[in-house]
Amino acid sequence: MHKSSSQRLPPLKRNWWLKHRFFKLYMLREATVLPLVFFTLCLLAGMVALLQGADSWQGWIAFMGSPIVLLLNLLALAASLFHAATFFVLFPRVMPLRIAGHSLPDKAIVAGQWAGVVAVALLFFWLLGRA
Amino acid sequence: MSTEQITTKSVSTNNTSIKHISVKRYLPDSSAEAYWQQYEMPVDDSTSLLDALNHIKEQLDSTLSYRWSCRMAICGSCGVMVNGIPKLGCKTFLRDYEGEIRIEPLSHFPVQRDLVVDMEIFLEHLAAVKPYLIDDNPVKPYDPKAPETYQQTPEQLARYKQFANCINCGLCYSACPQFGLNPEFLGPAALTLAHRYNLDSRDHGKKQRMTELNRHEGVWSCTFVGFCSQVCPKHVDPAAAVNQGKVEAAKHTLIALFKG
């Protein structure tokens, strides 16, 4: 039998994800990248400002302190935490871990990942606190 | 009158009521356009959607077409969309639905007639991943006089057992937007069964399957929407299997890279 002998339907319309709550939640998860793009662009601008000199750097500091930028970056933080929450739950399903022949419970893997987040956050607070 | 009421009450321990079911009809012989048709019927707590469809077919409208066989969620024939969600008719109970119930043929498949869809493309994708034991070098040549069975420990069975529960009903294909966007995507069930055989200690066909899996239309078209696992009537968790397949495909690519 030829491989594509069967019928094909036209592909879904672009608004397919509006039909169901589950798909909207999925799109929300995927859309968390948008505020994160803004945050990474901010960081990139900061590096450029650092190279350009003190005036430029002070301008960038002021820019980062403006309410709208703070708000957008808070949104980025919330988005990344939401994405982490969804991702951490998926992780044990994608990579079920086995130690000495016994599979690790899903909850332990999820808790381990959050512990990692807390550890990294504490490390950064400590580093920033010293500076 | 009163005795009759008491008898009815004592016979029927369930809540009987009248419900409306709207079915999306498509009769290509008489009309090129699909249309909605509403049926009214008495139901009780034990009435499944499949019972309701059988009631329509037998009592109300013999022109209705739909697939069914086992009525116990093992044959995988009676998949339909119930209020936009793919479900098995035999495993869906009308007691769980308030108001109108809309029944449509499974999404993402071409409709042949009423609730009957053409699942050929799913079967093609299934065949492409070779979902059967491949053992090119058996330990001993087959001897019909003294046939030997494969040996497998419970631990080896446990590795793939969940993924072996697939009944090929196709609900996951109707749930998968990536399959809806690109029907060449091998899709949840086929990729899950490929993974199921790759995990099987008796199988040696992983290399053959990997070329199919490790393509854009293989595991890499999946974006982990995860709705396939939500609708799966056998709790197979195809999304997990497909994404475990991504890990395997990545390993396969890396190993191939070093081998040259």
A73 falls within a domain? yes
Contacts B124 to A, Cβ<8 Å: 1, 3-6
**A22: exposed, middle or buried (Cβ count in 10 Å: 0-12, 13-18, 19+):** middle
Number of domains in chain A: 1
Distance between B14 CA and the closest CA of chain A, angstroms: 32
Please choose, from the candidates A89, A71, A69, A72, the residue with its C-alpha nearest in 3D space to the C-alpha of residue A25. A89
Decide if A5 is inside a domain.
Answer: no
For residue A106, is it within any domain? no
Q: Calculate mean pLDDT across residues B16-44.
A: 95
CA A77 to CA B112: how far, in whole Å? 49
Burial class (CB in 10 A: 0-12, 13-18, 19+), A47: exposed
pLDDT tens, residue by residue, A116-125:
999 999 999 9
- Residue B175: closest CA among chain A residues belongs to which residue? A23
Is residue A69 one of the residues assigned to a domain?
yes
Query: Which of A9, A17, A93 is the closest to B240 by Cβ?
Result: A93
Handedness of CA B221, B225, B229, B231 (dihedral sign): negative
Q: What's the pLDDT at A1?
A: 41
Q: How far apart, in whole angstroms, are the C-alpha atoms of residue A68 and residue A65?
A: 9
What is the model's pLDDT at position B40? Answer: 95
Residues on chain A touching B225 (C-beta within 8 angstroms): 22-23, 26
Residue entry with tokens 């999820």: A110
Domain of residue A81: give its range. 16-95
Query: Which of B243, B248, B251 is best to mutate for the A interface (most A CBs within 10 A)?
Result: B243
Among residues B173, B42, B53, the alpha carbon closest in space to that of B114 is found at B53
Flag if A6 and B237 touch (Cβ within 8 Å). no
A3: nearest CA in chain B? Answer: B124
Confidence band, pLDDT 50/70/90 cuts, at residue A66: very high
* A88 belongs to a structural domain: yes
C-alpha B160 chain-centroid distance: 18
A109 lies in some domain? no
Which is the CATH superfamily of the domain at B120-259? Alpha-helical ferredoxin (1.10.1060.10)
pLDDT at B14: 67
List pLDDT tens digits, range B130-175: 999 998 766 667 788 887 778 899 999 999 999 999 999 999 999 9
The answer, yes or no, to whether ipTM is higher than 0.90 is: no
The answer to the question of residue A124 being in a domain is no
Span A69-80, average pLDDT = 96
The overall average pLDDT reported for chain A is 91
Query: Which uninterrupted H or E stretch holds B113?
Result: strand B111-113
In this structure, what CATH number is given to the domain that contains residue A76?
Answer: 1.20.1300.10
- As assigned by CATH, the class of the B13-117 domain is alpha beta
Q: Is residue A25 part of a domain?
A: yes
Q: Residue with structure tokens 């299997």?
A: B241
Contact B225 A96 (CB under 8 A): no
Give the domain ranges of chain B.
Answer: 13-117, 120-259
What's the mean pLDDT when you consider all of chain B?
92
